[in-house]
Chains A and B, each alone.
Chain A
Amino acid sequence: ETGVTQTPRHLVMGMTNKKSLKCEQHLGHNAMYWYKQSAKKPLELMFVYNFKEQTENNSVPSRFSPECPNSSHLFLHLHTLQPEDSALYLCASSQAGQGGSYNSPLHFGNGTRLTVT
């Protein structure tokens, strides 16, 4: 069993749909992340949650809405997306230290490949 599990693996949605991506980590970590990976581009950090509190929103459009009900689960709610939002969405977790330090490695899930039509 992988430490970080994402569902679904693939998602095709129209621009008017609403869908959610789910992430669950079994590593006992207290920090969770959403990253976006587009073709030929570096991974882009979207959101960071530390102890269930959002600590970073990297200027992400409001059509992406994260939710972190507890330290083990992270969701990304999607609505009225654009075709340019098609990408691989990666969830990750790590053990954040005191004061929110992020020194431990990231453990990634296998991603959701999203296509917006």
Chain B
Amino acid sequence: RKEVEQDPGPFNVPEGATVAFNCTYSNSASQSFFWYRQDCRKEPKLLMSVYSSGNEDGRFTAQLNRASQYISLLIRDSKLSDSATYLCVVKRSGNTGKLIFGQGTTLQVKP
């Protein structure tokens, strides 16, 4: 079983739609969680960290469910520019815990 699992998609949605991605992780001692965004043929960039209480940044909302070991990303009012691959990233426990990346979920927003 992969340590971080994501549905690769693609998720095809119309502009203005709300879309949600889930990501599950297998190591219950995982410490920190992030969503990165990667555009086609570009490098990944941090989208947002995920906090235990949930957090929002504009149209993006991230949630963490430690009991069920999953994190989610909700995008409201999708824009064409949201089309990208969204990478779920989990930091292992411990000060030197490394980051483990999921395979990514591809979102395509259509006009």
Contact = CB atoms under 8 A, between A and B. Distances in A.
Contact of B43 (A40, A45, A97, A108): A108
Interface stretch (B11-19, B54-62, B69-77, B100-108): B100-108
A109 interface: yes
B45 A108 contact: yes
Interface of B: 2, 4, 8, 32, 34, 42-46, 49, 87, 91, 95-104
A14 to B, nearest CB: 24
A61 interface: no
A7 to B, nearest CB: 14
Q: Which of A43, A45, A111 counts the most B-chain CB atoms under 10 A from its CB?
A: A43
Range, interface on chain A: 20 to 34
B37 to A, nearest CB: 11
A102 to B, nearest CB: 7
A102 B91 contact: yes
Contacts of A110: 42-43
A99 B95 contact: yes
A103 interface: yes
